[in-house]
Structure 1
Amino acid sequence: MPTTATTSLRRPVNRYILNQHAEETAFCWLRRQEALWRPSYRCSHLQRLDQLLDAHLEGLRVAAQAALPIVLNNLQRWKTLDEVFACTYTLLHCGAVDWSPLERVLEAQPAAAKGAAAALIWSSGPSAEDCLQRWSNSAIPALRVASASAYVALHANDSPDVHNVWLAKTLVDPASEVRACALRRIGEWRLSAQTEHLQNVFMGHDALCRFESAYAMAWLGMPQADAALLETMPLVQGSRQRRGTLLFAMTAQPAAFETWVQQAQVDSTQTRALIWSLAFRGNALALSKLLEYLRMPQYARLAGYAIGHISGMDLDEQGLWQPEHQDAELTPHFSEDDGLLMPDIERLTEWVGRYVNSMPKGASLLAGKVMRTDNARPLLQAGWQPQRWQASVLLDMEDRRRHFLSQVPSPQL
């Protein structure tokens, strides 16, 4: 992991190499973000990306002053998350410099705060902590969002008292993104003293905060959690919806889960979320249901992965795949499916039938083993990315003192 000290250069700077470091830093980080939930990535794949990214970050770190004009120019040209990441990281290693060009971009492009937060997490150390504190008091909402997002990763293992002090400030922040970040951690940090606040927020009108309060309710095992997540999961998208789907599938009562399946079946916009929920549910009924989506070309590859997610079966090793049909280009494409094999529908259907008959009665499986913490731990190093997320939730639910979920993408982010 890169150190946080700034090293003075004592030799001429190669601008071409610095420019390459800046461009590759942005590119590798963007690839890494895309890989975090990707079902075709294992831990080893992500570690390789981390190594590449670390190498380019080291180039920016040791020549931060010389690299700063390059990353600022890229930032002004593109104003994207990845350029914000590269620029923030470089600024953190430059000492006393003007941060206003970056902060103006974040004010104009609030969604780019994720890139700034990632750079704070990756850098850590005194300079990151100083920035964390300064941005937490900024009048610019995007800076407070970046600070809050980085804080929860860098301080996940702080004491409940420290967490409560941070929550007291962030839960009343004017920006809903900041409040949502805090609400999520009430659940993941298992701060049961805040349950009344969750209920009050859920009765409000802010969709994002209502979802995160429902998500936290599920972590805390509150009786209204199932209904709350059912109501709010359709209000969010992307990784937030995936998180909610994962937790709901693992914690919902059978009747509530069946309600979700019925709702999603009649809403084509929820089909992929439904497939993921079946993967995370992991029981015989989920496996049988996934067979329906094998016969839909636009969902076949994801359904094939979901079957392997539950059973631990590898389509490639078992030879249960087939080449793409000639008319495959006419099938809707989802980038999430890149790298997944097209299942051999008939042979995989037969395989699932035999497998379901051999499953322990009433069991829910992850990677072919009963969902227990002793079975989950090895997946942190060996599983596909979605399996690693699910294993982390299982482990965090078992031990409140550990926070695997904040570390699962890598020890650094």
Structure 2
Amino acid sequence: MHTPGAITKRIIPRILEQHVEEAAFLWILRDSAVGAPHYQLSDLAKLDSRIEAHLDGLRIGGADAWRLCEEALKLGEAGEVFAAGVLALESKDANRLERVLETVAQFPETLRGLVSAFGWVAPQRLAGTVKSYLTSQSPLLRQIGIAACAVHRADPGQILANIIADDAAPVPLQTCALRTAGQLKRRDLIDPIKGHQQADDETVKLWAAWSSVLLGDRKRAIETLKSVACNKSPLGQRAFDLLLRAMSPTDAHLWLRSLAQFPEWQRDLVVGVGIIGDPFYVPWLIKQMSIPELSRVAGEAFSSITGVDIAYEDLDDEPPQDFEAGSTENPEDEDVAMDSDEDLPWPSPLKIVAWWDANKERFNQGVRYLSGMPISELQCKRVLTEGYQRQRKSTALELALMQAEEPLFEVRAPGWRQQSWLSE
């Protein structure tokens, strides 16, 4: 016969192991969900509640739970760094934090997990830690300190200006500071930021132009964004996403027209039409829905303009036969990229045409629309409350361009915190 104590000793470690594994795994899901086209804020909040439940189990597990988190850090994965980071930050245990930092230094790709942990923990529990990082001699610690301020939209003060003014600062630290200045609307830093638009490093150049635009200094920044956007890269996508929102509608139309002659820019053209939001393009978008490679993203652009939820309104269709996007199971296929449209519905062109014919009188050409209404601060706040994460990310940029002083809304923050902000 087993005694209760013996059973407990066998069960508890396994339960704690499950908490470590699930907290890390769910964070990986979350890392994808914050930019997904099918997650709403309410969905994110539910996912975050599941993560918090596992973190709570680890908090209760005390030293035993920490030992398991520390062991899991050897995997060198961002999810494990997130879970260990939350426990280390909340405990304010210097040795625990040092162990997490060692992992980040060894596996730089896990930094996003640690920054997410800083974003998860309540700001009042971070003050001493973040302050010590901001004043550290270590570029990595200063970068983490700046990033921690950014995710909580807390101004690090003069330190931010010092880093931006320091031409010898490492590129990761410099770009973090430049991006944060735009997110926080540090308009006092417009002039020093402007100088970095001529940097040799493409990443520095992008974030200098990106922040300049958010701070209202657009003329040269728009030209810089154009040059970066012409590169087929993640940096180029960042530039493209902001560029069309910051240009005048006339200039945006002309720029898209200049891209239309290049086949490799057709997908970007569809995305750009959704950003511009002019109903004039809807008939063209519907035609693109018949092209398998463009169909789903054209549907997303259509929804961005009209506000129609294609799946909910039963305007979707079955995927075309024999169509494969992204990576395949063929071992000879060298394309390992994920299908960025995977979670979007397949629109039915026939159903969409019928809907448009019945509703197009509600839309005025030459007006920018966002989710079915002319773009405005009120509409942006509605989409931030009700929209999907990819829409919300775009909408946060739109709102930041309208508001001179308000920080960029953080759509990656814990769901419950965002819901609290939006209810204020």
Per the shorter chain, which TM-score range? Answer: 0.7 to 0.9
Output one character per residue of 1:335-371: Cα deviation in whole Å (capped at 9) or x when no partner: 4323322111233245446655541231111110000
Correspondence 1:223 to 2:219: yes
- Between 206-215 and 333-342, the greater mean CA deviation after superposition: 333-342
After superposition, residues 31-42 of structure 1 pair within 5 angstroms as 31-42=29-40
- Between 383-392 and 167-176, the greater mean CA deviation after superposition: 167-176
Output one character per residue of 1:2-44: Cα deviation in whole Å (capped at 9) or x when no partner: xxxxxxxxx9781111111111111111111101111111111
- AA of the residue aligned to 2:251: A
Correspondence 1:304 to 2:299: yes
List gaps (5 residues or longer) in structure 1. Answer: 1-10
C-alpha deviation, 1:304, in angstroms = 0.9
CA contact (8 A) 1:373 1:391 kept: no
Task: Name the TM-score, length of structure 2 as normaliser.
Answer: 0.83
1:383–1:133 distance in 2 versus 1, CA, 3 Å: same
Match of 1:327 among 322, 327, 345: 322
- Between 211-220 and 277-286, the greater mean CA deviation after superposition: 277-286
1:101–1:243 distance in 2 versus 1, CA, 3 Å: same
Q: Which residue of 2 aligns with 1:263?
A: 259
- AA of the residue aligned to 2:45: Q
Output one character per residue of 1:169-214: Cα deviation in whole Å (capped at 9) or x when no partner: 4552622122112212333333333232223111120111100111
Distance 1:331 1:395 in 2: 33
Distance 1:297 1:307 in 2: 16
Correspondence 1:108 to 2:106: yes
Q: Which residue of 2 aligns with 1:87?
A: 84
Aligned residues: 395
1:392–1:331 distance in 2 versus 1, CA, 3 Å: closer
Q: Percent identity?
A: 21
Distance 1:264 1:192 in 2: 36
Distance 1:257 1:202 in 2: 25
1:353–1:243 distance in 2 versus 1, CA, 3 Å: farther
- AA of the residue aligned to 1:124: A
After superposition, residues 1-400 of structure 1 pair within 5 angstroms as 14-76=12-74, 78-98=75-95, 99-125=97-123, 127-138=125-136, 140-154=138-152, 156-158=153-155, 163-169=157-163, 171-172=165-166, 174-219=169-214, 220-234=216-230, 237-238=233-234, 242-253=237-248, 254-260=250-256, 262-263=258-259, 266=262, 268=264, 271-328=266-323, 330-332=324-326, 334-352=338-356, 355-356=359-360, 358-400=362-404
CA contact (8 A) 1:81 1:113 kept: yes
CA contact (8 A) 2:252 2:276 kept: no
- Between 245-254 and 361-370, the greater mean CA deviation after superposition: 245-254
- AA of the residue aligned to 1:364: R
1:25–1:335 distance in 2 versus 1, CA, 3 Å: farther
C-alpha deviation, 1:326, in angstroms = 3.0
1:65–1:214 distance in 2 versus 1, CA, 3 Å: same
Distance 2:135 2:232 in 1: 28
C-alpha deviation, 1:125, in angstroms = 4.5
Output one character per residue of 1:226-266: Cα deviation in whole Å (capped at 9) or x when no partner: 2111112355844x655433322222122255325533762
Q: Which residue of 1 aligns with 2:332?
A: none
Distance 2:60 2:219 in 1: 53
List gaps (5 residues or longer) in structure 2. Answer: 1-7, 328-337, 419-424
C-alpha deviation, 1:118, in angstroms = 0.9
Distance 2:287 2:364 in 1: 22
- 3-state SS of paired residue (2:70): helix
Distance 2:123 2:34 in 1: 24
CA contact (8 A) 2:306 2:370 kept: yes
Task: Name the TM-score, length of structure 1 as normaliser.
Answer: 0.85
- AA of the residue aligned to 1:251: A
Q: Which residue of 1 aligns with 2:334?
A: none
Output one character per residue of 1:273-295: Cα deviation in whole Å (capped at 9) or x when no partner: 44333222111244344334322
Distance 1:217 1:97 in 2: 37
> Cα RMSD between the aligned structures?
2.8
Output one character per residue of 1:143-193: Cα deviation in whole Å (capped at 9) or x when no partner: 333222111122x254xxx53443324552622122112212333333333
Distance 1:291 1:130 in 2: 55
1:222–1:316 distance in 2 versus 1, CA, 3 Å: closer
